[in-house]
Amino acid sequence: MRNILLAFLVFSFNSCEWESSTTANNNFAKTLSEDQVINKTMNEFIGEPTNQNEMDKNLILNHIIDNKLDMESTPDGIYYQITKEGIGNHPTMKNTIITNYHGTFLDGKVFDSTIDKKPFTYPLNRMNDGWKKAIPLMKSGGKAIFIIPSRLCYGEEGFGDLIPPNTVLKFEVELIGIKGTK
């Protein structure tokens, strides 16, 4: 059974024309054994993906397996792991968020990061759809990992030379604070 599943995963992954590698910055993620991850994700794979959403899902699941991550998913297809519980309230669309984040592609290549920089402060309602849905899962002072499908970030258009079209993005986020309403 395991060999069949692994063959299926290789087929699914290769049909998406992406290469897999482990994430270099996986230092605060909760991990599972390979068997635990496969058991948790095996029913979620799409055998023959027919659209970008299905390809993104398989890419995300392969990344989770490769890195043995213990992640949950939202109905929108965002995979996440709260690695440190915060305190207080969850941010809403009326709040401005203050974060440190580290954004990578699934191959670990960094495309943006506030590490060693000033924290990022921005109204949540002006963020991309992925952040609008993911950040409210956190509380102030919390940390999380989010893997966001391309349609909820920059979709078919990408973002200039920085982010190619149809790219799944991974963020390690620390929600430093939440400012009032705007």
Q: What is the pTM assigned to this prediction?
A: 0.79
Q: Could you say which DSSP state residue 79 is in?
A: E
Question: What mean pLDDT comes out for the span 75-80?
Answer: 96
Is residue 86's pLDDT more than 90? yes
Q: Encode pLDDT of 99-148 as tens digits.
A: 999 999 999 999 999 988 999 999 999 999 999 999 999 999 999 999 99
Q: Which residue do the tokens 């941010």 mark?
A: 91
Q: How far is the C-alpha of 133 from the C-alpha of 93, rounded, in Å?
A: 10
Q: How far is the C-alpha of 39 from the C-alpha of 127, rounded, in Å?
A: 34
Return the amino acid letter for 180.
G
